[in-house]
Amino acid sequence: MRDEFAWIASITPKEHRQASLLEGIGDDAALVKGSEEEDQVVCLDTMVEGVHFTTDTMAPFHIGHKALAANISDVAAMGGIPRYYLVSIAVPASWSEEALGEIYKGMDTLAETYKMDLIGGDTVSTKGPLVLSITVIGSVESGKKLLRRNARPGDVVFMTGCAGDAAGGLALLLEHTRNHPFTLTEQALVQAHQLPLPNVEAGRLLAEANVRVALNDISDGVASEATEIAESSGVKLTLVWDKLPKSIALQSYPQEQQEQWLLYGGEDYTLIGTMAQEDFSLIQQKAKDCNLSFIAVGKVEAGAPAVWLERSQQPIEALHKAGYNHFS
Ligand SMILES: Nc1ncnc2c1ncn2[C@@H]1O[C@H](COP(=O)(O)OP(=O)(O)O)[C@@H](O)[C@H]1O
Ligand SMILES: Cc1ncc(C[n+]2csc(CCOP(=O)(O)OP(=O)(O)O)c2C)c(N)n1
Ligand SMILES: [Mg+2]
Ligand SMILES: [Mg+2]
Ligand SMILES: [Mg+2]
């Protein structure tokens, strides 16, 4: 099997059959023309036991919560408001009704935060591992396209929160399992892995501000998501290590470890994007009023589509698009 991204490219239809389809495969979510006022945002993500979680890394509540969070995160990366969700679950015989109830409680807890309704789904048995697939439907003001291909030379690269913690938490969970008495610092990383929160409010601020933004949520690691922006926009991105937002917990680890988790870990579900310098100043002003953060982490220039990393007193280095890639 070729790598995940090449495979998706190979099955992407060459043309749209429906005139109302604004954006199909290729971004965080599809966009479909809705009313005069708003377009529909639609996306789907799956979590598989053994690939995205094990019973040692996540309690059933975490599994439901995180699966919905990952989907809402793709709506956030389009600047959308999540509104409805559908759930498909394939259940092995070994899972109890009580555990399944906890998965749904996890989803419902997050859905309550965003006032989302569960509107359907599908239930099947399986001889394999538990599989949970969620489709989220949301909306965004019509004409808003916060797409990966929107980056332009001269833009600032920004992030809306820390990255690397979720991968750190996973490493701890794989080593000790979730019943281990973790230190407070370790608990911060474990929580980032088990209960990540999507950055909907940051995406909304960008959509409402009506500025050109390239945007991507960080599911596969900063290097991979930044490379997607570089490749789809045909620009060069340079990230500055010292500016990349790192939690206090992450900073307690050696720099090499921080780099591995932050650049190549994934599952952070904060946003990375680019916009013009003058718009960025305006956004930072607006963000202050609502307690959101937009952190400048680098710049966009004309050049071969790639991502470079600048560290103090070291030669600039090209980042490889490593990160989480199913099949490779
Ligand atoms: N099996 C598939 N069939 C059709 N489209 C797919 C498939 N897998 C992924 N896609 C589409 O490919 C794009 C990239 O997917 P993915 O890397 O999973 O995005 P994300 O990391 O934002 O969830 C998305 O537009 C997604 O809808
Ligand atoms: C037991 C276990 N092993 C490994 C991982 C790491 N992991 C699994 S999937 C993934 C990337 C995100 O999932 P994906 O299905 O690629 O989501 P998408 O990019 O479609 O949002 C990562 C970092 C994990 N979460 N749990
Ligand atoms: Mg995404
Ligand atoms: Mg996906
Ligand atoms: Mg992925």
Q: Cα dihedral sign for 215, 221, 226, 231?
A: negative
Are residue 235 and residue 127 in the same domain, yes or no?
no
Q: Which atom of ligand 1 is nearest to the CA of 228?
A: 17
Instruction: List, for residues 304-320, the tens digit of each pLDDT value.
Output: 999 999 999 999 999 98
How far does residue 277's CA lie from ligand 1's centre (Å)? 30
Are residue 238 and residue 90 in the same domain, yes or no?
no
Q: Which atom of ligand 1 is nearest to the CA of 74?
A: 22
- CATH code for the domain of 171: 3.90.650.10
Q: Is residue 98 part of a domain?
A: yes
Are residue 108 and residue 192 in the same domain, yes or no?
no
Are residue 267 and residue 293 in the same domain, yes or no?
yes
- CATH code for the domain of 90: 3.30.1330.10
What's the CA dihedral at 107, 113, 119, 125 to 10 degrees?
0
Are residue 180 and residue 38 in the same domain, yes or no?
no
Q: Which atom of ligand 1 is nearest to the CA of 73?
A: 22
Are residue 215 and residue 66 in the same domain, yes or no?
no
Confidence of residue 156 (pLDDT cuts 50, 70, 90): very high
Are residue 137 and residue 156 in the same domain, yes or no?
no
Are residue 135 and residue 192 in the same domain, yes or no?
no
Q: Classify residue 175 by burial, with Cβ atoms within 10 Å: 0-12, 13-18, 19+.
A: exposed
Average pLDDT rounded to a whole number, residues 165-193 = 98
Supply the range of the domain harboring residue 97. 4-141
Residue to probe by mutation, ligand 1, list 25, 75, 199, most atoms within 8 Å of CB: 25
How far does residue 4's CA lie from ligand 4's centre (Å)? 11
Q: Cα dihedral sign for 8, 213, 30, 70?
A: positive
Measuring from each residue's beta carbon to the nearest atom of ligand 1, which residues come in under 6 Å?
Answer: 8, 11, 25-28, 45, 74, 219-220
pLDDT of residue 15: 95
Q: Is residue 272 part of a domain?
A: yes
Confidence of residue 3 (pLDDT cuts 50, 70, 90): confident
Residue holding tokens 């290590």? 241
How far does residue 76's CA lie from ligand 3's centre (Å)? 9
Q: What are phi and psi of 201, to 5 degrees?
A: -65, -35
Are residue 131 and residue 156 in the same domain, yes or no?
no
Model confidence, pTM: 0.97
Q: Which secondary structure element, helix H or strand E, spans residue 229, and what is its range? A: helix 222-233
pLDDT at 328 over 80: no
Instruction: List, for residues 200-245, the tens digit of each pLDDT value.
Output: 999 999 999 989 999 999 999 999 999 999 999 999 999 999 999 9
